Amino acid sequence: MENEEKRNKIWAFVITGALILISLIYYRVNVFYMYLVAYIWFGFAYGMMLQYGRFCFASASRDLFAAGVPRMAVGILVALMFFSLIQATLASTNMSTFHPAPFGIHTLIAGMIFGVGMVLSGGCASGSLYKIGEGNMTSFLAAFFGLCIGQAIFVDVKWFNFLMPQKWIDTAAAKAASGFPPAANMTSSFDTYLAGYVWDKPTVRMSDIAAVREAMPGASKYFIGDALLTALIPAVILLIVIYIFYIRKGFLKKRAKQKGSPASGLSDDIAGIWNMITASQRTTLMGVLIGIVAGLHILVMKGMQIRFGVNNFGRLLTKMGHSADVSVSGTVFDPGYWYITSQEGQLGGWILEKFGWNMHDNLFFGVNNGLPVPWRNPALWMSFGIIFGAMVMARLNNEFKFKLPKGELIAWGLIGGLLMGFGSRPALGCNIGAFFIRVAGGDPSGWLYGTGMVGGAFIGVKFFNWWSERKMAKEMEAF
């Protein structure tokens, strides 16, 4: 046992040391790579916090529906509240990299597909990465075959042309005829969807709405419009709803027993809400920290952009002579904040190109995100950072265990991963990019994605409940 603990500690130091060495090598090669190094270490911090807090968006709705446990839902709402305030501070000082997303029903539908997928695979996009760090290879299946390969295939095939309305096809064709996007990059169903539908959808950010700008001049529009109205008030309402439906009855019963008199006053309910928030201290604490670190991440990336005089890492790659890595727009995927999925799609695209697949002939890689080699892909390094950060934390707590998927878990991992990959593309993001970041940034489309995600999770839980009942009935036959 002692040997195992010792071995785990050595591994934790080896992994951290290797990442420090990699960072130093990047610095030595070119100072521009410090931009990429910043992503590595923020990813590392996310990974440590996610693993320590068991922080998984899939668990938020799944454990609520499957076991009546609100631990994770509460943790996420706490993180959201802190992050929204930091986002507002950054926006008011012109140090934010946040940008709202096209608003439409597609966000809700995509969220629902993603929600089913995350329950089946056992983890959301960021949750799957931290679980890989714990040695969970079911999560690896979901991330590699779903988020990487599945997503790359999804954006490059014509398989979904039958779903494309003629209006979208005509709009996309008209844009190509006018010169942008280039016709050579308009080959897949997803390209038609992007150019024919999504690009024409309006973006909504509370602080950008004319009425809000007029009513709240200066920085108040960010704090009241983006943070208070879009994130804080809805989050508090949700906390109260969760308390009423899942906690209140049991808590008041327990409290009445302790007090020896009925517990039904407002002070009892306030105590109950506080008890719910602090029930899992490690999750809530990590919620607060994740919110703060995610804000700090934006600040650092914006600082890097100002320092190097660019707004995208693709410009630096071009300056360093790696123009083959960037898109026709000279960019690579560089969100400037915590984001998962697009970079996994890039890894999948890069691998498929090695097998002869042309991945540059679509909008996703060819025009928007580029296809950098993995070791020059900033956001992908953030994902690796999450895996290694979680691995270090799991090793330090003796929780690392290499687990190969067996039997049904292989099927759930693959199907769930593919649904997550497919569900993250139409909304241009996952539980982090399309929900967490957007809501905290004042973009109501984040709630649309979140609603879809919770609906999808409900369907996934219903399915697993039926499945496990069936299996339990077989096991119970013996007695």
Q: Which of 138, 318, 331, 362 binds another protein (CB under 8 A)?
A: 138
- Give, as ranges, the residues between 282 and 311 that touch another protein (CB under 8 A): 282-283
- Helices 2-29 and 378-396 cross at an angle (nearest 10°) of 160
- 100-108, 152-160, 342-350, 398-406 -> range binding another protein (CB under 8 A): 398-406
How far is Cα 123 from Cα 138, in angstroms, rounded to an integer? 10
Closest CA to 98 of 227, 272, 9: 227
- 154-162, 203-211, 286-294, 471-479 -> range binding another protein (CB under 8 A): 471-479
Please answer whether residues 113 and 341 qualify as being in contact, where contact means their C-beta atoms are separated by less than 8 angstroms: no
The number of C-alpha atoms within 13 Å of 29 and in the hemisphere containing its C-beta is 17
How far is Cα 78 from Cα 61, in angstroms, rounded to an integer? 15
Examine residue 200 and tell whether it contacts another protein (CB under 8 A): no
Q: Could you tell me the smallest distance in angstroms from the CB atom of residue 435 to another protein?
A: 19
Examine residue 465 and tell whether it contacts another protein (CB under 8 A): yes
Examine residue 354 and tell whether it contacts another protein (CB under 8 A): no
How far is Cα 136 from Cα 47, in angstroms, rounded to an integer? 14
Examine residue 463 and tell whether it contacts another protein (CB under 8 A): no
How far is Cα 15 from Cα 200, in angstroms, rounded to an integer? 45
Name which of 66 and 155 has its Cβ closer to another protein.
66
What is the end-to-end Cα distance of the chain in Å, rounded? 37
Examine residue 277 and tell whether it contacts another protein (CB under 8 A): no
- Give, as ranges, the residues between 66 and 85 that touch another protein (CB under 8 A): 66-69, 71-72
Examine residue 59 and tell whether it contacts another protein (CB under 8 A): yes
Examine residue 318 and tell whether it contacts another protein (CB under 8 A): no
Examine residue 401 and tell whether it contacts another protein (CB under 8 A): yes
Q: Which of 94, 179, 260, 406 binds another protein (CB under 8 A)?
A: 406
Examine residue 386 and tell whether it contacts another protein (CB under 8 A): no
How far is Cα 258 from Cα 89, in angstroms, rounded to an integer? 43
Q: Which of 17, 165, 182, 250 binds another protein (CB under 8 A)?
A: 250
How far is Cα 438 from Cα 442, in angstroms, rounded to an integer? 6
| Amino acid letter, 48 | M
Please answer whether residues 327 and 153 qualify as being in contact, where contact means their C-beta atoms are separated by less than 8 angstroms: no
Q: Is the dihedral of CA 100, 102, 108, 113 positive or negative?
A: negative
The binding track of 423-462 with respect to another protein, each residue x by CB under 8 A or -, is --------------------------------------x-
Give the tokens for residue 163: 């779903």
How far is Cα 288 from Cα 341, in angstroms, rounded to an integer? 24
Examine residue 477 and tell whether it contacts another protein (CB under 8 A): no
Examine residue 28 and tell whether it contacts another protein (CB under 8 A): no
How far is Cα 272 from Cα 74, in angstroms, rounded to an integer? 13
How far is Cα 58 from Cα 462, in angstroms, rounded to an integer? 14
Q: Could you tell me the smallest distance in angstroms from the CB atom of residue 477 to another protein?
A: 11
* Interface residue list for another protein (CB under 8 A): 1, 4, 54, 56, 58-59, 62-63, 66-69, 71-72, 119, 122-123, 131, 134, 136, 138-139, 246-247, 250, 279-280, 282-283, 394, 397-401, 403, 406-409, 461, 464-465, 468-469, 471-472, 475-476, 478-479
